[in-house]
Amino acid sequence: MIRAVCASRRGFHNTTFTAGVNLLLADRSTKAGDKDTTNALGKSTLIEIIDYCLGSNAPAGKGLRIEALEGWAFTLELAVGGNDVAVTRSTDEPGFFAIEGPTIGWPVQPAANKEGIIGLDTKKWRSVLGWALFGLSEPASETGYKPSVRSLLSYFVRNQAAAYNTPFKHFDNQKTWDIQVHNAFLLGLDWEKAATWQQLKDQKNALVALKQAIKTGAVDGELGSLGELEAERLRLATQLERERSALSNFQVLPQYREIEGQANALTTQIHSLLISAES
């Protein structure tokens, strides 16, 4: 549960939350007319700050990492794995999350950075969040198609307009496998089946690409039948064994004997031609 959002600079309105549904409203003065709006009052920014403290990507010059917010640090007070902690992420050092409070039972324990501040780097903080919020650990699937804590969180912290177009996507260009795997996970379904299905699609696409490459001449040869491939395998295995045996017995390879015979025959012919020319 999130308890509060704070910042390191004056002028920021600290926000506290209680159990249950919390609504964030913008005040309107009694003199406000129909043309007055509640835009640009910080509602979306608050969501962005929460997402920032929960390990979102932080490219320079975008989001909270703009010039106007240089030197700022934002703090999120929340419960993680049964411990009430405060996590702080600055705009100057977005790769480090300062942690205050007990971290009993966490799979990764915070450590001091070069300034002596206790905390975690981005990867480790995301790992803790994945464990605490979604029970994520190393998944059994060996494919690259697996739930990530950041994609799962993005279904709850929707900080862009496109994220509200459909409940099953959190951004417009989200890949199909990403949608299927994460929705299956959140609905308590077997997400590994969605991952396996995507892996099969990848294999099919690879075969189609290979056949097309052979058809256009980009790859030499043809795709033989299973019997043809097995015959070729046996031929190569026999050749390999014969040459290995020759090497182990220090025998001259048959190819050399053939070349030697051809060279001797050519030498004899040359001598015959020379004798004829002298006569």
CA-based nearest residue to 70, from 46, 55, 90: 90
Write out the residue limits of the CATH 3.40.50.300 domain(s) in the chain.
Answer: 1-20+39-108+118-137
What does the pLDDT read at residue 56? 94
Structure tokens at 244: 């290995």
The set of residues, in sequence order, having a beta carbon less than 8 Å from that of 177 and lying 6+ positions away, is 145, 194, 195, 198
Task: For residue 88, list its beta bridge partners.
Answer: 75, 98
Identify any residues that bridge with 73 across adjacent strands, giving them in sequence order: 90
What pLDDT score was predicted for residue 266?
73
- How remote is the C-alpha of 65 from its chain's centroid? 23
Residue keyed to tokens 């804590």: 149
Superfamily of domain 1-20+39-108+118-137: P-loop containing nucleotide triphosphate hydrolases (3.40.50.300)
Contact 127, 134 (CB under 8 A): no
The beta strands (E) that lie in 108-214 are given as 111-112, 118-121
Per-residue confidence of the chain (279 residues) as pLDDT tens digits?
899 999 999 888 899 999 889 988 877 666 666 655 566 667 889 999 999 999 999 999 998 999 999 999 999 999 999 999 999 999 999 999 999 999 999 999 999 999 999 999 999 999 999 999 999 986 444 558 899 999 999 999 988 788 888 899 998 889 999 999 999 999 999 999 999 899 898 888 888 888 787 777 666 655 566 677 778 778 888 888 887 777 776 555 566 677 777 777 777 777 676 676 665
- Tokens 């324990």, residue located: 109
The helix/strand/coil state of 98 is: strand
Cβ atoms of 100 and 117 closer than 8 Å: no
Read off the pTM: 0.71
Task: Give the HSE-up count for residue 279: Cα atoms under 13 Å, Cβ half-sphere.
Answer: 6
Query: Which backbone phi and psi does 107 adopt, to 5 degrees?
Result: -70, -25
DSSP classification of residue 88: E
Task: Give the β-pairing of 83-90 and 15-16.
Answer: unpaired
Look at residue 140 in the predicted model and tell me its pLDDT. 46
Name the CA radius of gyration of the chain, rounded.
34
CB 61 within 8 A of CB 131: no
Of 64, 40, 69, 42, the closest CA to residue 53 belongs to: 64
